[in-house]
Structures are given as structure tokens and as C-alpha cells.
Structure 1
Amino acid sequence: MSFPLAANEIEDVPDISIGWYRAVIGLAHDAPGWVQGLADIATEAVLLVFGALVLANLWRTRRADRRMRIFALAVPVVTVLAYAISEFTKTLVEQERPCRAVRDIVATIAECPEPGDWSLPSNHATIAAAAAVGLAVAWRRLAIVAVVIAALEGFLRVFVGVHYPHDVIAGLLLGALTATAGMSLATALASHRSVQQHS
């Protein structure tokens, strides 16, 4: 005996992601006020932290060998490229923000972005993942810290209520894949120039 499948609550949005979203913002709603305030600040501050790390790496490698300088310059390039791809993808998908689309939810920590500021993928998660992967290659001592901070940023975007979990997963994957490809090209470029110098 077969049963008809239930219709999705929101078209083109996985029901499991909606369920996780409700669970996380419910957790956020029940959190102490200071935790909510810290999360609201941290979700934006994380990007400033990555920006500072990228600048610190550029400064750190200003007198390093060519290979290290190429890696350092590649990090902001792959991060900006990942952001641009993310923004373009948003215009293709046009997924409404969960804070506007999901019914019967508690108040979110962050104010819901204006209509037309689409949800999928998360720009913040994309930028964080791209910067984290780039820094992991260019400044290996920061690898674990950078990856943990990027994952935290993804969680915070759901916690403050402006993204579904699948938005941030997509953003983290997009940022990581873009940065991996970009840093691979940087590695090839650095190796090519090294060969030229010794030939």
C-alpha cells in the first residue's frame, strides 16, 4: 500500500532544513540576552576577523619568497571571487529569507533583510570558507583556527535567524571549492615561476 507524499512546506526548500532552522532559532530565542547580543555582533565581526588575518598575512609575507607572496595575494583574490559567485548565484535562485518565509516562528535575533536580499547561498558563509581555505594554504599555522571560525560563522547565520542551514552549507561548500581551485592555480603559478628562475 502506498501513501501520497506530503507537499513541501515551502516550495524548493527541504523540509529538513526548515525543521533545523526552527530548532536553532528556538534555541537562540531561549538563550540569555547576552548570548543573543554576542551572536548578533559576532556574525558580522567574524568577517572583520578574517579581513584582519588576510591583511596580517600580506604584511607577514611582504619580505618572504615569491611563493609565499603569491599565496598571500591569492587569498583575498579567491575570497572576492567566491563572494562574486555567491552573489550571482543568489540572483539565479531567488530564495526568500527564512525569517520572512517560514510561518509561526519565534522572533529572530537579527532583523530580517529587505525583500530581494536573497538567502541561498549565504554570502557570509561563502566569504568565511573561502578565506579560511586560502589562509590554511598560505598560513598553515592558522588552518584549524580558520576552519573552526568559518564553521562558527555558518552556525551563527542560522542562529540569528537570517539563513536556513542548507544556505550556509551551500555557502561553505562554494567558498571552500572556489578557494581550493584558486589556491591550486596559485600553487601551479608559484611552481612555474620557481622552475623558470632555476632554468
Structure 2
Amino acid sequence: MTTSSPATEALDGAAIDGGLYTDVTDFARHTHWLNGPAAAYSAYGTGLFALLLLVAWWRARRQGSTAMAAVLATPFAVVLAYLVNTGIKSVFEEPRPCRALPHDFLIEACPAPDDYAFPSNHTTVAFAFAVALLLVSRWLGSVALLAAVAMGASRVYVGAHYPHDVAVGALVGSVVALVAVLLARRFAPALVDRLRGGALRPLVTSQPS
């Protein structure tokens, strides 16, 4: 009996939508004016989601315990989504497109061989933030959702991921955040009420004692 090597068991991303990936990176090749901003946002755009969460927390201090429970659950939901996504990466071990399609245009440096592509961690985190914020504030969540879509698009544009990496990353982040924050809204308001009566009161409410 022959045993398949890890390389033959790994997901062949180029066979799924390598052509679409090439179309996007060719577009990047001909839009040099956009390369810098896209690369910067792709690398550091997560900070925008942290800022939106900070705004949501400040607003929730004047709202009910359910809203604050959702805000406090958001960082945990994002971390959980990241861990789930990392686990999926270790199962499929899809090589980065820069290795499967080495002649395509690349903005972001090609990662190490054991830094797998499927699904996209950046996109997972962005959509986890966005869905969690949608359960807190429709306005903030809508802004975060647009930013998450831009994050996913930027990951393909800079050459870091195939489109399906981004699509599945968005799904993972959305589902994990939805479940985690809905559970927090259901079961955590009592904990927030206790916090609002203790030493952490200034952090979870703007109401005087």
C-alpha cells in the first residue's frame, strides 16, 4: 500500500479559482497607484475594527446589559474565530498562491511554506468583528461589514490568498461570531449586572452609583 505525502494531500487552491486569482493580481499589476494603500490596509486594517469596537463599548455604557454583554463578548468571539480558522488551516494545508503560481504579480511578500492559505485569517477576524458589531449596533456593524469586505478583497489583491480562501474565512468568522455573541446576549447580561454593581462599574456603565 502506498501512502500519500502531505504535499499530495494538501488542498490545491490553484485548481479551484487560480484563474480568478490571476485576474485580480493582473489588475493589481496595472493599478500601481492602489498598491500602497491596499497593502497598508491589508496589513494594518484590523486596527479599524478595534476602533469601532471601542466606539461600541463607549456607547454600550449608556445602554442595557444585553448590549454591553455583546460588546464584551466580541473580543472572545474574534479570538475563537481565529483559533477555529487556524485549526482548519492545519487540516487542509493549502500552499499559498505565491508558491503554486509563482509568476503572478505579488505585492505582499510570500510567507514561509508552513504558513498556509486556506482560509484567510485576516478575513476571518474582520468578519468576526463585523458580525459581532452588527449584533451591537446596526450602524457600526454596517461600517465594519464594508471594511471586512474591503479586507477580504485586499488579501486577494496583494496576492496573499485565493478568492475561496477569503470566502471561507468570511463564513468561518461570521458563523463563530454569530453563535458566540448570541450566546453572550442570552446568558451574560446577569454577569454584566453584577459588574455594574462592583469595582468595574465605571467600565461597564456611565450611570452614577
TM over 0.5: yes
Residue of 120, 134, 137 corresponding to 1:136: 134
Q: Percent identity?
A: 37
The yes-or-no answer on 1:109 pairing with 2:99 is no
Deviations along 1:7-64, one digit per CA (max 9) or x if unpaired, are xxx96336351011000000001103x3101111011232110011112222332343
Measured after TM superposition, the shift of residue 160 of structure 1 is 0.1
TM-score by length of 1: 0.85
1:148 equivalent among 124, 146, 152: 146
Q: What residue number does 1:48 align with?
A: 47
Q: What TM-score does the superposition give when structure 2 sets the normalisation length?
A: 0.81
3-state secondary structure, aligned to 1:138? coil
Displacement of 1:165 in angstroms is 0.4
Correspondence for 2:17: 17
Q: Which residue of 2 aligns with 1:5?
A: none
Structure 1: gaps (5+ residues): 1-9, 195-199
Alignment of 1:1-199 (within 5 A): 12-13=12-13, 15-32=15-32, 34-106=33-105, 108-189=106-187
The answer for the alignment partner of 2:202 in structure 1 is: none
Give the Å deviation of 1:65.
2.2
Task: Tell me the number of residue pairs that the alignment of Structure 1 and Structure 2 aligns.
Answer: 183
Which AA in structure 2 matches 1:189? F
> What CA distance in whole angstroms lies between the structure 2 residues aligned with 1:128 and 1:17?
22
Report the Cα offset of residue 192 of structure 1: 7.5
After the TM superposition, which parts of structure 1 deviate over 6 Å for at least 4 consecutive aligned residues? Answer: 191-194
- Name the Cα RMSD after superposition: 2.0
